[in-house]
Protein backbone atom coordinates (compact mmCIF):
# COMPACT_ATOMS: atom_id res chain seq x y z
CA UNK A 1 0.00 0.00 0.00
CA UNK A 2 2.97 2.25 -0.68
CA UNK A 3 0.90 4.37 -3.07
CA UNK A 4 -1.44 5.68 -0.37
CA UNK A 5 -2.65 9.12 -1.34
CA UNK A 6 -3.38 12.17 0.71
CA UNK A 7 -6.83 13.61 1.41
CA UNK A 8 -9.38 12.75 -1.26
CA UNK A 9 -6.70 11.14 -3.44
CA UNK A 10 -4.91 14.45 -3.99
CA UNK A 11 -1.53 12.98 -4.83
CA UNK A 12 1.02 10.76 -3.14
CA UNK A 13 1.14 10.63 0.63
CA UNK A 14 4.21 12.27 2.20
CA UNK A 15 4.61 9.22 4.45
CA UNK A 16 4.04 5.80 2.93
CA UNK A 17 2.24 3.04 4.75
CA UNK A 18 5.37 0.91 4.32
CA UNK A 19 7.44 3.52 6.20
CA UNK A 20 4.76 3.73 8.88
CA UNK A 21 4.94 -0.03 9.42
CA UNK A 22 8.66 -0.67 8.97
CA UNK A 23 10.40 2.65 9.64
CA UNK A 24 8.20 3.72 12.53
CA UNK A 25 6.84 0.41 13.81
CA UNK A 26 3.20 1.43 13.62
CA UNK A 27 0.31 -0.99 14.05
CA UNK A 28 -2.67 0.76 12.43
CA UNK A 29 -4.50 -0.88 9.54
CA UNK A 30 -3.84 0.81 6.20
CA UNK A 31 -7.32 2.38 6.13
CA UNK A 32 -6.96 3.84 9.63
CA UNK A 33 -3.53 5.23 8.78
CA UNK A 34 -4.82 6.80 5.55
CA UNK A 35 -7.73 8.36 7.45
CA UNK A 36 -5.48 9.87 10.13
CA UNK A 37 -2.72 10.98 7.74
CA UNK A 38 -4.16 14.37 6.62
CA UNK A 39 -4.56 15.57 10.24
CA UNK A 40 -1.09 14.26 11.08
CA UNK A 41 0.50 16.12 8.17
CA UNK A 42 -1.29 19.34 9.19
CA UNK A 43 -0.07 18.90 12.76
CA UNK A 44 3.57 18.29 11.81
CA UNK A 45 3.36 21.00 9.15
CA UNK A 46 2.37 23.50 11.84
CA UNK A 47 5.37 22.44 13.93
CA UNK A 48 7.97 22.39 11.17
CA UNK A 49 6.66 24.74 8.50
CA UNK A 50 6.77 21.82 6.05
CA UNK A 51 3.92 19.60 4.90
CA UNK A 52 6.28 17.34 3.00
CA UNK A 53 9.92 16.29 3.05
CA UNK A 54 12.31 18.96 1.76
CA UNK A 55 15.19 18.28 -0.59
CA UNK A 56 17.70 20.10 1.60
CA UNK A 57 17.10 17.81 4.59
CA UNK A 58 19.55 15.05 5.38
CA UNK A 59 18.37 11.46 5.84
CA UNK A 60 18.08 11.82 9.64
CA UNK A 61 15.81 14.86 9.27
CA UNK A 62 13.68 13.11 6.65
CA UNK A 63 13.30 10.09 8.93
CA UNK A 64 12.47 12.27 11.97
CA UNK A 65 9.83 14.21 10.00
CA UNK A 66 8.22 11.00 8.76
CA UNK A 67 8.34 9.47 12.26
CA UNK A 68 6.67 12.63 13.62
CA UNK A 69 3.86 12.30 11.08
CA UNK A 70 3.53 8.62 11.98
CA UNK A 71 3.36 9.38 15.71
CA UNK A 72 0.74 12.06 15.12
CA UNK A 73 -1.27 9.65 12.94
CA UNK A 74 -1.26 7.09 15.76
CA UNK A 75 -2.55 9.72 18.19
CA UNK A 76 -5.26 10.97 15.82
CA UNK A 77 -6.36 7.40 15.07
CA UNK A 78 -6.71 6.67 18.79
CA UNK A 79 -8.08 9.98 20.10
CA UNK A 80 -9.46 11.90 17.12
CA UNK A 81 -8.97 15.66 16.98
CA UNK A 82 -11.40 16.60 19.73
CA UNK A 83 -11.41 16.34 23.51
CA UNK A 84 -9.89 13.21 24.99
CA UNK A 85 -12.19 11.53 27.50
CA UNK A 86 -14.80 8.86 27.98
CA UNK A 87 -18.30 8.02 26.86
CA UNK A 88 -21.45 6.41 28.20
CA UNK A 89 -24.13 4.27 26.60
CA UNK A 90 -26.92 3.60 29.09
CA UNK A 91 -25.32 2.23 32.25
CA UNK A 92 -22.12 1.25 30.39
CA UNK A 93 -19.34 3.82 30.48
CA UNK A 94 -15.73 3.95 29.37
CA UNK A 95 -13.27 6.50 30.65
CA UNK A 96 -10.18 7.07 28.56
CA UNK A 97 -6.99 6.89 30.57
CA UNK A 98 -5.90 10.23 29.08
CA UNK A 99 -8.85 12.24 30.45
CA UNK A 100 -6.81 15.26 31.47
CA UNK A 101 -8.93 17.93 29.82
CA UNK A 102 -6.73 17.71 26.75
CA UNK A 103 -7.54 17.18 23.07
CA UNK A 104 -6.43 14.59 20.57
CA UNK A 105 -4.64 17.39 18.72
CA UNK A 106 -2.56 18.17 21.80
CA UNK A 107 -1.68 14.50 22.26
CA UNK A 108 -0.67 14.28 18.58
CA UNK A 109 1.41 17.45 18.88
CA UNK A 110 3.26 16.05 21.90
CA UNK A 111 3.92 12.76 20.11
CA UNK A 112 5.22 14.58 17.01
CA UNK A 113 7.44 16.89 19.09
CA UNK A 114 8.99 13.86 20.80
CA UNK A 115 10.04 12.53 17.38
CA UNK A 116 11.36 15.94 16.25
CA UNK A 117 13.39 16.61 19.41
CA UNK A 118 17.00 17.43 18.66
CA UNK A 119 16.54 17.76 14.90
CA UNK A 120 16.15 21.52 14.60
CA UNK A 121 13.05 20.96 12.47
CA UNK A 122 10.56 22.53 14.87
CA UNK A 123 9.45 25.81 13.37
CA UNK A 124 10.02 28.74 15.70
CA UNK A 125 10.17 31.79 13.49
CA UNK A 126 8.51 33.73 10.72
CA UNK A 127 8.37 32.50 7.14
CA UNK A 128 9.22 34.96 4.39
Which tens digits make up the pLDDT trace of 60-91? 999 999 999 999 999 999 888 755 555 556 66
**Between vectors from CA 74 to CA 123 and to CA 23, what angle results, nearest 5°?**
80
Q: What's the confidence (pLDDT) of residue 128?
A: 61
Q: At what angle do helices 104-116 and 30-48 cross, to 10 degrees?
A: 70
The lowest-confidence range among 36-40, 43-47, 106-110, 122-126 is 122-126
Q: Name the residue ranges covered by the structural domains of the chain.
A: 7-116
User: pLDDT, tens digit, for every residue of 4-53?
Assistant: 444 444 457 899 999 999 999 999 999 999 999 999 999 999 999 999 99
- Tell me the backbone φ, ψ of residue 88, rounded to 5 degrees: -135, 140
Looking at the predicted structure, is the pLDDT value of residue 58 above 60? Answer: yes
Q: Which helix (H) or strand (E) holds 92?
A: strand 92-94
Amino acid sequence: MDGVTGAAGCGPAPVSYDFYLDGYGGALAAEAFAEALPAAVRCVGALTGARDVREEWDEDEVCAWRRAVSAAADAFAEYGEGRVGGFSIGSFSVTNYRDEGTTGSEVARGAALAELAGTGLCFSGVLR
